Chains A and B, each alone.
Chain A
Amino acid sequence: MASLKTYRFYTGNLVRDPYYWFWAVFFMLFWLLMGAFIYGSSMSKDALREELSRSIPPTTPGFEKILEDAWSKEVVYYTGGWYGGIALFSLTSVSIGLVYYVYYSTIPIRYLTKYSKATPLKFYVGLVLASMTVSLVAAIILIASTIALYSYRFYGLNKLVLPSNIIGVLAVTATGGVFEFLLSTALALLVVAIRKPKLLSMMSFAPLIISYGFGMYGMVGGGGLAQYSPFNIIMLLAYHYYTGSPLALDLKLIDMWKADPEIRNWMMPGSSIQTTDPLVLWLFLTAWILIFALIALAMLRIQRGVSVEEIIA
């Protein structure tokens, strides 16, 4: 009951937060628009026909069917790539707001866990659920916008660019919400524990800076170890469930289409790529969540001695 109250209270707060709507939703919608109409302006079936004809002569029987399939795949991979990146950055934007909420809640939580029915665990369960909910709200708006914008851009709304596994997309978003909450908690409590309230502003932007760093590297820089960061895993899983594409961790996200065996057969016959089971990424993400949960718990213990004067200063 106390968890439910906390959940409702914080969800009510977060959905009324203009910061959340601007950074986690509208700013991401802006980038989705850019992806569809500016960065994707050079994408066309004719351009693909020309590229495809380098490996398959246009006179080959069934060429048009292959072109149609390749175009569908290119569109969904392009769309999924944008959604994966946007989902990550939206979750990170939620995280920035949460750092402040957690930081400024440390004293009220200390008070309420002493003199109310709420225990620290119930409180944090409520907060985690609230963070998952607002992440899902943002995700649903962004998924609907992605479908509408990219379907309009590439098919004039005659065909929809739908996620291949909507449950998977929502599951990774909700799990990403849990990760972002724990990351925010760890950072907020770190500020409290080291008694440097002036670091709060800088610390609140840490998730955004780190996720942009890792995310952009994974998207356009290269694959490799960076893909095992929690930020990249969230982006890759969101991409995977949107597109249905296999994942190859050696590839950057914009080249992930090469992991599709059918496309490889058309464009690069004879090549092979090592793909990764999404379950492995889920295990890594779970491990990251556990690591940050432990850090947050450790910080909770350390911050016991902080004075109220420093927090409210």
Chain B
Amino acid sequence: MVVRGDAVILGPNGSGKTTLLRAITGITVSKKGRILIDGLDVESIRGRPGLISTNLPEVIVSSRLPVKHVASFYLDLTSGDINYFKDLVSRLGSIEVLEKRYHELSPGLKKIVLNALAIATRARYILLDEPFENLDPARRVAILREILDSPGVKVIDTHATWLIKSLSEWDVYLMAEGLIYGPLKPRELEELKVSTSPVEDAVLQIKLKVGEVYLSKSAGTPLSSLESLDKLYEVLTWRR
């Protein structure tokens, strides 16, 4: 898999999306293969502030300090923008969030803090794990807007299919049972049909434990609209 621009990874629970982001950041060690970031093996990367940021919760040091101090510690070390972080958290959550401890926050507010921290780092590559999870619709849209406006290459893994319409220029990858497929453009997804029988012009051939499924433009059941993109998950967790 080569990521050259903004990308979204769609996949069902347990498909390995979060593990993939952990492996890309280098906080979990890959047993097979290599991950190169700008040509550098992730294992050898040291002291590169601003190269990668992520909203994975495990990168946050367990702390008794208020969110604003934890963010200040992180963003100082990573050359990020603390004022932007405070502004974003105040707008999407509330100013009180900054004074609270991270572990006291609700799951939704924790997600806002983690997203804001990742975006405020102003990194070249921003990796966001389920950035819309536990957020209400208004906040989902607001955080999506911030993601789209932020500089750098964004890689999002998500269950959310509603956002695909807003990401017309992004690459879409599908992930199932630890394997990744793609890329496709969102508009290509609209035209695809799914079949369990081999198809000659298959755009994607997805290997599952129970067999293979084929996405093509010619044969099978059409994924007729983006609203029905959830059908992809039915395909990716296919049971016969």
Contact = CB atoms under 8 A, between A and B. Distances in A.
Asked if A pairs with B, the answer is yes
Interface of A: 2, 5-6, 9, 12-13, 16-17, 101, 104-105, 107-108, 110-119, 304-309, 311-312
Nearest to A16: B64
B77 interface: yes
Contact of A119 (B25, B46, B52): B46
A116 to B, nearest CB: 4
Given A12-B69, A108-B59, A116 B49 contact: yes
Nearest to A2: B77
13 contacts: A5-B73, A6-B73, A9-B70, A17-B64, A104-B62, A105-B61, A114-B42, A114-B51, A115-B25, A115-B45, A118-B47, A307-B29, A312-B58
Nearest to B76: A5
Contact of A114 (B28, B48, B76): B48
A311 B62 CA distance: 13
Contacts of A308: 22, 27-28, 58
Contacts of A305: 29
Interface of A is mostly: helix
B48 A115 contact: yes
Given A5-B73, A117-B47, A308-B58, A111 B63 contact: no
A311 B58 contact: yes
B20 interface: no
Interface size class of B (residues with CB under 8 A): 35 or more
Interface string B35-57: 00000001001111111111000
Given A9-B69, A12-B69, A107-B27, A117 B49 contact: yes
Which of A6, A111, A304, A312 is most buried by chain B, counting CB atoms within 10 A of its CB?
A: A111
Q: Could you say which of A9, A16, A306, A311 has the most chain B C-beta atoms within 10 Å of its C-beta?
A: A9
A101 B22 CA distance: 21
Interface of B: 19, 22, 25-29, 42, 45-54, 58-65, 69-70, 73-74, 76-79, 123
Contacts of A9: 61, 63, 65, 69-70, 73
A40 B78 CA distance: 55
B77 A118 contact: yes
A111 B25 CA distance: 7
Nearest to A101: B62
Given A118-B77, A308-B22, A111 B59 contact: yes
Max chain B C-beta neighbours (<10 A), residue from A17, A306, A308, A312: A308
Contacts of B70: 9
A12 B101 CA distance: 13
Contacts of B29: 304-307
Nearest to B61: A108
A107 B25 CA distance: 11
Contacts of A16: 64-65
A115 B60 contact: no
Given A114-B47, A306-B29, 5 more contacts: A9-B69, A108-B61, A113-B46, A114-B52, A115-B52
Contact of A13 (B19, B25, B54, B63): B63
Contacts of A113: 46-47
A118 B54 CA distance: 17
Given A107-B59, A305-B29, A112 B77 contact: yes
B69 A110 contact: no
Nearest 9 pairs of A and B residues by beta carbon: A116-B77, A111-B59, A16-B64, A308-B28, A108-B61, A9-B73, A116-B78, A104-B62, A114-B45
A115 B77 CA distance: 9
Nearest to B29: A305
B65 A117 contact: no
A246 B53 CA distance: 57
B8 to A, nearest CB: 22
Contact of A307 (B28, B63, B77, B123): B28
A5 B80 CA distance: 14
Contacts of B79: 116-117
Contacts of B48: 114-115
Contacts of A108: 58-61
Contact of A110 (B26, B49, B65): B26
B52 to A, nearest CB: 5
Nearest to A123: B77
A267 to B, nearest CB: 51
Contacts of B63: 9, 13
Nearest to B44: A114
Given A110-B26, A114-B26, A305-B29, A104 B61 contact: yes
A122 to B, nearest CB: 9
A309 B14 CA distance: 13
Contacts of A101: 62
Contacts of A107: 27, 58-59
A162 to B, nearest CB: 35
Nearest to A15: B64
Interface centre among A2, A16, A114 (most CB of B within 10 A): A114
Contacts of B74: 112, 116
